A and B are shown apart, each in its own frame.
Chain A
Amino acid sequence: MKLGFVGLGAMGRPMLGHLIAAGHELAVWARRPEAAAEAARAGAAVCATPAELAARSEVVFSIVTTGADVSAVAFGGNGLAEGFRRGGVHVDMSTTSPTVARELAGRYAGLGVDWLDAPVSGGAAGAQAATLAIMAGGEAAVLARVQPLLATLGSRVVHVGPAGAGQVAKACNQMVMVSAIEACAEAMRLAAAHGVDVAAVRQALMGGSAASRMLEVMGGRMVSRDFSAGVEAWLHHKDFGILLGEAYRLGVPLPIAAQVWQQLNALMAQGWGQDDTASLLRVLESASGA
């Protein structure tokens, strides 16, 4: 299949590789020439504009940083929308707000172009191993058309609902995940303040009801004090800004998420935004004189 790809960061690069390895004909557009050159070496054609990319592709994937970035790629000058033929599909795998996803789906519908919001969970490791969890919002028939492509990127694809529903699921994912990181950090901090070996506490907990993926991975980072990013914490900070904005709009109380958001604000203020979100432990330490 002739496919397009936009967004060659830590997530996008391995995803592009999987699609090429599956035998598809890939083209990319990238803002940075170095990123385009690297994609060319991996076997992708390079287009000068998103419009050019869309004109030669049946399906275009994007995975960029913010909703504004997706909107610009899709409907900015020389955007994808100018190039797509009727029946083209834009699969956006970025994390944005449900509102942005619904708006873009609506604008594409007027052009006869199909849309899926398909954000992912699993991080760079999941992208490399093609084991991402993919949460799709959009029409079932559209998802069915791209399902084989998504299957080369992730091990689990769930159709959550109409356009925007994928982003709703992703917001829920971020809320549960980062709140769990905060809970791990608080447990590690409490154990350390008691003078108890945090590694032993984590090991003991992993055998019981408190076992979780976050305790395993992020708890492990906290124990070894490895704060180098995995996922840079500012991305989670950004996500919490979005999801608490949605909570405001909908009149939904999210008391725990609101507190985690404040800890993320403190993390940003202390200059750890480029580090891993395990740094939430350092926020607690700095607030308790540790």
Chain B
Amino acid sequence: MEVGFIGLGLMGRPMALNLLKAGHKVHVWTRRQESMAPLLEAGAQGHASAAEVAAQVEVTISMVADAPDVEQVALGAGGVAEGARPGLVHVDMSTIAPAAAQAVAARMAEKGIAMLDAPVSGGEVGAIAATLTIMVGGEQAAFDKVKPLFEAMGKSVTRIGDSGAGQVAKACNQILTGVGVAAVAEALNFATRSGVDAARVREALLGGFAYSRVLENHGQRMLDRNFKPGFKAWMHQKDMRIVMEEAHRLGLALPAAAATAQMFNAMVGSGLGEDDSIGVLKLLERMSGGAGE
């Protein structure tokens, strides 16, 4: 398939490479020209704007930082809508608020362009290994058309519901992983400060009801004190902010998520924002009188 990819950062680059690997013809554009180089070397075709990309393809995919960027790529000057051929499906795989995703999709629909929100979970590792979990909101027909592309980038692909539903699922994912990372850090710090070997605690718990992927993967990285991202704390902070704003709008009590969001605020404020979000362990150590290095 002829597919366009816009946004070649930590996540976007390996995702676009996997599309090439699966035999698709990939057209790229990104704001920072130098980011295109690895894709061009791998056989992708570079363009001067998102509109130019859209004019060449059946599906465009964006993977950018936040809602204003998503809107700009889709509807701004030189954006996808300007170049789109009839029948184009535009897919945004960034993480933004469900309401923002619905608003952009509605405006694209007015121009006859179907849009899917398809945020991912699995981090850079999952993007490279093409094992991402992809949560999709939008019309079934558009989903069916894009599904082969999703399958080239991820392992678990689910259409959750209508427009915005993918972002709702992603918000749920961020509640679970955010609160989960904080819980694992608290448990391991608790073990250590009680004079018990945290590695053995983790090992034991992996066999029981407290098993989770977060305990397995993130827990191991905490024990290794490997705080290299991965998924940066400031990005998780941003995602938790989306969750809390939705909770405010809907009148939902999310006390555990709220507490976790404040811990991410503290990380960013105290200079841990560029660490992986497992750096929340350092914050807890510092709060409890430890060095937290």
Contacts and interface: CB of A to CB of B under 8 A. Distances in A.
Given A262-B247, A265-B247, A269-B251, A251 B259 contact: no
A259 B237 contact: no
Interface in B263-282: 263, 265-270, 273
A176 to B, nearest CB: 17
A146 interface: no
B53 interface: no
Contacts of B270: 251
Most chain A Cβ neighbours within 10 Å, of B241, B255, B261, B262 = B262
Given A261-B248, A262-B247, A251 B253 contact: no
Given A244-B244, A262-B247, A250 B269 contact: yes
B67 interface: no
A258 B253 contact: no
B157 interface: no
A261 B241 CA distance: 13
A253 B273 CA distance: 13
A248 B237 contact: yes
Interface residues of A, number: 22
B259 A255 contact: yes
Interface in B239-259: 241, 244-245, 247-248, 250-255, 258-259
Contacts of B241: 245, 248
B142 to A, nearest CB: 33
Interface in A254-272: 254-255, 258-259, 261-263, 265-266, 268-269
Contact of B253 (A252, A254, A263): A263
A15 B254 CA distance: 39
Nearest to B238: A248
B265 A259 contact: no
Contact of A262 (B254, B266, B269): B254
Nearest to A273: B251
Nearest to A268: B251
A92 to B, nearest CB: 24
Given A250-B265, A252-B266, A262-B253, 11 more contacts: A245-B241, A251-B237, A251-B267, A251-B268, A252-B265, A262-B254, A265-B250, A265-B252, A266-B253, A268-B251, A269-B253
Interface of A: 237, 240-241, 244-245, 247-248, 250-255, 258-259, 261-263, 265-266, 268-269
Q: Which 10 A-B pairs have the closest CB atoms?
A: A251-B269, A269-B251, A253-B266, A251-B268, A268-B251, A258-B258, A266-B253, A253-B262, A262-B253, A262-B255
23 contacts: A241-B248, A245-B245, A248-B237, A248-B265, A250-B265, A251-B266, A251-B267, A251-B269, A252-B265, A253-B263, A253-B265, A253-B266, A254-B262, A254-B265, A255-B262, A258-B244, A259-B255, A261-B244, A261-B258, A265-B248, A265-B252, A265-B254, A266-B253
